[in-house]
Amino acid sequence: MSEKIILNPITRISGFMEIEVTVENRRIIDARTKGQMFRGFEMMLQGRAPLDAIYYTERICGICSTAHSLAATIALEQAFGVEPTIQGRYVRDFMHGCEFLQNHIRHFYQFTVPDFVKMPENYPLYQTNFRDFRLPKETNDVIVQHYFDSLPLSRSAHQLLALFGGKAPHNHGIFMGGTTASINADSIVKCQSILREIGDFIENVMIPDAGTLARYYPDYYENGTGYGNLLSFGCFDFYPELGTLYVEPSVSVDAAAGGAVRTLDPRRITEEIDYSWYTDSLDTYTPFETIPMDDQNKEGAYSFIKASKMENLSFESGPLARQWLSGEYRRGISTMDRYIARVMEAKKIHEILLVLLDQMIPGPTGQAPYLTPNAARGQGLTDTTRGALGHWIKIENSLLDFYQIITPSVWNLSSHGNDGTPGTAERALIGTELADEDRPSEIGRIIRSFDPCVSCATHVFYPNKEPKFITVVP
């Protein structure tokens, strides 16, 4: 006998999502991740001035806005035929790295810790009926203190971003040709000083805290494994003099079973929409082909999040994928490995930022002059905090005519593929055994290991045959 569990809202993620799982003998046998909001950026961007895409697309996401400004800029540079200056690239990649630090510190302490550590019970924001808290009181309370200690550090990471970008979130400094910011010695030394504090915290507090969670929750190395297909668009890579500091565009199919790491071919990317609320004459297409229209009345669909595919397969992207593909971390692929990889990546990014800072030379970074093309196209692919991000643009009559965006969370939170196979996080949920069906803490923990950002939207579909709703009162 199977029953359905609905969890909504999934808190401590960016955006709105509902999880519906079917459970049989306490084991999840089917899962649906449903994005719950829709804004339609791709439609909004049509007809706007090309350069506006940089600031406009930032507003897709408040926690990873820098990523969108970067992807939009790279796409525009390709369309305009502009090479960013090398100093401009160092500065804007530095800004992007600051966003990683901000995100990873906040994700670990503000989003992850409350799942495994008992927060102060007398405070309403932190009250929960979860039961599965395993840390001894003393250890628990130390991490609670670190939760609050981390707040000034993620804030400082955003401050460094704003030092070059003007403000954060939604910076102004990343722009066509590199950056608008100038470099001064006082900025460089300020960055070094703040980075030292952040680095000390990552090394001496955050990594040990992650280790503590892993020690008390070793069973989370066993669940949330999913397909094990990993993908990255690359980031901090191909510098003319420095080479690749982190990871190049690459994929690995069934990585945990020894799948080889190969170069990624972006021509093999497709999206499928049979199970999402969009209609189009095509139900599978490459990014430049079409932008489907939203259609909430579509039969059989359940999510505003489409299904993205590479070589017709579902892929996971994000810190664990990058750490694995670059050879930095290969313990395994699971819920806990995702959490650990994110924390280890913070350390890696911190190191990269120091290298970039070393390359900066005081003065204006300079931007090459350029012509606005009448018609052109460009693609901006980069890995960002949460994974692989792509912007695909076409310019017609010097205006944006077409704008396709595939965000990291589309990879991770895909709806079913057209063949009915589950998306990446859905697959990661399936097979999980729930210790307590009335208070299923596993679902939220597995989902949050992907650091979801529901920047594309969804709304709940009521099937004709209403399932039996077991409402969860955790």
Partner 1 sequence: MKMVWLELNGCSGNIISLLDGADPGFDYMISEMVELVYEHSLMSAEGEEALEHLFALMDQEFILAVEGAVPLKNGGRYQIVGNWQGRSITALEMIQLLGERARYVIAVGACASHGGVSAGRPNPSESVGIQSVLQRRVIQLPGCPCHPDWFLGTLAHLIYFGEPQLDEEGRPVFIYGTSIHRRCERRSYFDQGIFATQLGEPTCMFMLGCRGPMTTTDCPIRKWNERINWPVQANTNCIGCAQFGFPDVMEPFVRYFTLETDREGELVEVLEDE
| Closest CB to partner 1 among residues 165, 423 | 165
**What is the secondary structure of 6-28 as a DSSP string?**
EE----SSBS-EEEEEEEETTEE
Residue 472 sits in the site that holds partner 1 (CB under 8 A): yes
Task: Write down the least CB distance from residue 297 to partner 1, Å.
Answer: 8
Q: Which of 93, 209, 237, 294 binds partner 1 (CB under 8 A)?
A: 294
Q: Which of 97, 114, 226, 408 binds partner 1 (CB under 8 A)?
A: 114
Residue 279 sits in the site that holds partner 1 (CB under 8 A): no
Task: Write down the least CB distance from residue 58 to partner 1, Å.
Answer: 8
Task: Write down the least CB distance from residue 69 to partner 1, Å.
Answer: 12
Task: Write down the least CB distance from residue 403 to partner 1, Å.
Answer: 12
User: What is the Cα–Cα distance from 338 to 387, expressed in whole angstroms?
Assistant: 12
User: What's the DSSP call for residue 109?
Assistant: I
**Touching partner 1, residues 127-146 (CB under 8 A):** 127-130
User: What is the Cα–Cα distance from 176 to 50, expressed in whole angstroms?
Assistant: 11
Task: Write down the least CB distance from residue 463 to partner 1, Å.
Answer: 13
Segment interacting with partner 1 (CB under 8 A) among 123-131, 248-256, 309-317, 403-411: 123-131
Residue 201 sits in the site that holds partner 1 (CB under 8 A): no
The CB-based long-range contact list for 436-439 (8 Å cut-off, 24+ gap) reads 436/131, 436/132, 437/5, 437/23, 437/26, 437/470, 438/472, 438/473, 438/474, 439/129, 439/130, 439/131, 439/132, 439/472, 439/474
Residue 211 sits in the site that holds partner 1 (CB under 8 A): no
**Touching partner 1, residues 55-74 (CB under 8 A):** 55-56, 59-63, 65
| Closest CB to partner 1 among residues 1, 473 | 473
Amino acid at 407: T
Segment interacting with partner 1 (CB under 8 A) among 167-175, 202-210, 312-320, 386-394: 167-175
CB of 250 within 8 A of CB of 276?
no
| Closest CB to partner 1 among residues 63, 333 | 63
- Count interface residues toward partner 1 (CB under 8 A): 91
Residue 175 sits in the site that holds partner 1 (CB under 8 A): yes
Residue 167 sits in the site that holds partner 1 (CB under 8 A): yes
User: What is the Cα–Cα distance from 261 to 207, expressed in whole angstroms?
Assistant: 27
Residue 401: in which H helix or E strand, if any? strand 399-406
Residue 331 sits in the site that holds partner 1 (CB under 8 A): no
Alpha helices by DSSP H, 117-206: 137-149, 151-165, 185-201
**Touching partner 1, residues 145-164 (CB under 8 A):** 148, 151-152, 154-155, 158-159, 161-164
CA-angle at 62, arms to 57 and 66, nearest 5°: 60
**Touching partner 1, residues 17-36 (CB under 8 A):** 18, 36
Task: Write down the least CB distance from residue 266 to partner 1, Å.
Answer: 26
Residue 13 sits in the site that holds partner 1 (CB under 8 A): yes
Residue 48 sits in the site that holds partner 1 (CB under 8 A): yes
**Touching partner 1, residues 364-423 (CB under 8 A):** 364-367, 369-372, 398
Task: Write down the least CB distance from residue 258 to partner 1, Å.
Answer: 36
| Closest CB to partner 1 among residues 168, 340 | 168
Strands 2-7, 469-471: pairing is: parallel
User: What is the Cα–Cα distance from 179 to 380, expressed in whole angstroms?
Assistant: 16
Helix (H, G, I), strand (E, B) or coil at 294: strand
Strands 174-175, 178-179: pairing is: antiparallel
The CB-based long-range contact list for 262-270 (8 Å cut-off, 24+ gap) reads 264/231, 264/232, 264/233, 264/234, 264/310, 266/233, 266/379, 266/381, 266/390, 268/310, 268/311, 269/308, 269/309, 269/310, 269/390, 269/406, 270/308, 270/309, 270/310, 270/312
Task: Write down the least CB distance from residue 130 to partner 1, Å.
Answer: 7
Segment interacting with partner 1 (CB under 8 A) among 69-77, 358-366, 388-396, 408-416: 358-366
